[in-house]
Structure 1
Amino acid sequence: MAAHVLRLRLALLVGALRGDARHVARTIAGLVLLTAATVLGFWALLTLRDVPTETAEAVIVFGGAAVTGGFALAPLIASADDPLDPRRFATFGLPRGPLAAVTAVVGLVSVPLAVVAALAVAGVVVWDAHGVALPVSVIGALLGVATCAMLARVSMGLAAMFLRERRSRELSGLFVIAVLVVVVPVGVFLTSLEWRRAVPTQLSEAVDILAVTPLGAPWALPARVAAGDPAAWQSLLVALGTIAGLGLVWWWIVERMLTTTERPMSGRARGGLGWFGVAPGTPGGAIAARSMLYWFRDRRHLVNLLVVPVAAAVTVVPLLIAGVPPEIVALVPVPFAALFLGWLPHNDLAYDSTALWMHIASATRGIADRLGRLVPVLLVGVPLLAVAVPVAISFHGRWAMLPALAGVSVCLFLSGLGLSSISSVAAPYAVSRPGESPFQHPQRTGAGGAISQGVVMIGAIILSAPTLWWAWIALTDDIAAAETALWGGLAIGGGVLVVGLIVGSAVFERSGGRLMEFAEST
């Protein structure tokens, strides 16, 4: 049975090079790019032979953990069918235990795992140059590749059972955003380090943590054994336990697939729904999906989003002209961007025009409306700040200020969102109608719009004043205040957001008639 399944797997790999000319060209181009990336990664790893052991360990553990996590997440997002799906063998009446074992072993034969294996070989060469015994480094590499393979098997099985009809290009976009949130800040931080010197304490602590987790344990094993670290046995036990645990989960998945009736596929019924097919089937999910469509297609919202980077960049020029040191100026644009991002939805309800009647007529709860409308801003703001904060710190040059800048940015962002959740329902003001120029504003008889804008922006700054003060102390006097700024910013911003959602929800539920009158008259 094993030999037959292996032949089928090899035939499928070769069959990928067959088909029409366009398909073959795309496949070959993809393989060429993947090969080039593998060669580049192999060469980059080999350069670690001349760096200190601690540096090589940090790079390999971080890189290995990221690759392993990718094997766990990618199958949950991608929409490709699993060629080794156990249900394909259901008609042959094969024993479930041997089938689970065979599909797990044959799953090692794949292009992504071949890339990981090549990089693992480079890791073995690196550890050999650092004096690590060859059997130890080989065992670590084999455990790492096996962990990736089992994670891919389990993730594909879970996706096939539960997530197949929920995956879409929108969900793939969320995955890309999540990758950017994690990879870009880490990449900026790692590239800023002077690798010939000692690894920073914070990075060493992160490596120590990853060394005893399923993601990093196999990759940290060689360095731990060579250093005589007692944690080496923990890494070995975690790596072996992870593979054994994933094997049991895979056996359960095979058992379930072969003994339960497959659910009717609802993918066609949900096809073409875009964000509505991704969002939960709840009032809040529907409002979030509709808000996503508005924010990324309505010119009025797009113009508001474009204002954020422009406004943040404009703040740099007068400061530089005034003679402020560039390393200080580098810290200014990100908090301004966070403030504007939190301020953006302060009048979000007014952009609904007459569509607001759907929420009120269906007795939508206020919390569903308030939360749903914040989803687009969060989806834009969180990745933007996650990337911008480490980039700004890299220009500043003092990484100890990272917690302070993050705390200030988060506090301004969340405080703005909390106040906007109240403002947009308590004091909406007229805006340009759908289809009109986003730069065309209707005439107003009062100053309600200016007051609403000012209250949200100034209020967010006032509420964030303690965090700003702690950050200033960290910059000018005591760097220990940076941690206080981080946790203080999270607490203040999170508290304002929660209070804003509660108050805004109550106002929404009690002001249905007034809001309908506003929507019909603007």
Structure 2
Amino acid sequence: MPAPAPVPGPGPAAGTRPALRLVGLKARILVNTMTRSTWVLVGTVLGAAYFLFLLGTVVVGLVVLGGQPAELVRTVLVLAGSALVAAWWLVPVLSSRADATLDPARLALFPLSTGQVQWGQALGALVGVPGVLTVVALLAATASWRSSPAALAAALLCLPLALALLVAGSRCVTALAVGLGRRRRVTEALSLAALLGLVLLGPVFSGLMSGLEQVWDRLPQWAGVLAWTPVGAVWAVPADAAAGRWADAGLRAGLTALTVAALVLAWRAVQQRALTSVVTERTAAGRAGSGAGLLDRVPERAWAAVAARCLVYWVRDPRYSGALVVVPAIAAVVWFSSAQTGAGFLFYALGPMFAALLAYQISGDVSFDNTAVSLHLLTGVRGRDDRAGRVLALLVIAVPLSAFGLLLPFALQGRWELLPGLAGTTLLALLGGAGLSSVMSARYTYPVAAPGQSPFKTPQGFTVLNVLVQFVALGLIVVLVLPAAVPVLVQVFTGEPAWGWAALAVGAVLGPLLCWGGIVLGGRWYDRRAPELLQEVAQFR
């Protein structure tokens, strides 16, 4: 009787099979997301057309670059490659759009090793618009060295190393940011650092533009420095091969390989912790007799309870408080821009600007609530009370900030004759925007970071259509402000104060009407669509 055939052990193929399965799952989720509805498909097609145009421009530019001197090619590719590395590493964190499809916290219960999850995430990073665009751009970049066979061969050999640098750095930085984002103090420090960077962005950009000729002359020197850093070394290897500097090429390739290895090890350590530990959110136990906090201090009405709950969100939830951090940064940037360009009227628009941005913030209130919106459904809160409570909480926060933005330009620069008109514009922006947001949050939801998660983390499902809808909402708020803004502009050009008082009257009458109309209409839609809203937000993970 023949002996049974031996059962194959877990070889390399068995180890890579789960990773390829994860990549296939991500591709399927991507396709399902893009084709789940006609509007999502239309938004996807429009976004794809835009990105294809950008890609075509980049490819043509890189091909044309191949006919230029080697030193110019080296400078352009090192600078562009370093910028690409920075974009892959930082943009997902700063924009709160880090890919969470293959989040290790979701995969912790599956029989997957850390290496398999890493391979799945690494290969999955190339599935999607950024990954495909990057691969095509890197292939086009190799054509820039077509005049030198040695440089072309070096560029092709460095292509996988460059992709590894981009992907490993992106996943490592994102994993570290998500871990740090769970700590409140660290999150606040990061917010302050981002605020400082935003404030300094104007002066830095202005300084670069004023010395554009000197900056252009120093680009080769900057590229030479970046070529010996982890983010720029790999892009200079083909130039060294073209010039016959094989020692420098080997050193730069070795530096990049060591950087990738360090990033993978750090990424693995964070990944291991995420796969083997369960993160639990602890809440501090209230002291005896402390009661329910703010909820004990409001009238026993449904709208008051909703307002108190939303006020707690505005103070403690980083997804809301992030909007408050941006307010002083916007004031500093607008002041600096108006001082540099001489367009002082931009500084006077701070009040309406603050009001519009803060009013827009509650357009995603139901999405931010996530499954907590079931509390309103189970307790029978009417839609009108829900909308009114959220608007009241907004006004408690937004009125002082909008008043600060309104009065600051006059305190620094004068022209108090414009105050009535701008006060009416600010009032219309705040109340009209609150009414519009009350309708929008009852009619439309979009994926946001779930409660308790890091603000750097966003679930899958956020598409180009979501971005377009948000821009349309901001555009509608601007349109609502026009009845008061137009008389203010007329006053600026004619000097007639009557136009300013007319703008104040328009804001004082139209603002409350729009706000109340939005609360009533949004309340009706909320009552009609409450179960659907709960079903939609429950899918945002």
Question: TM-score, normalization: structure 1?
Answer: 0.46
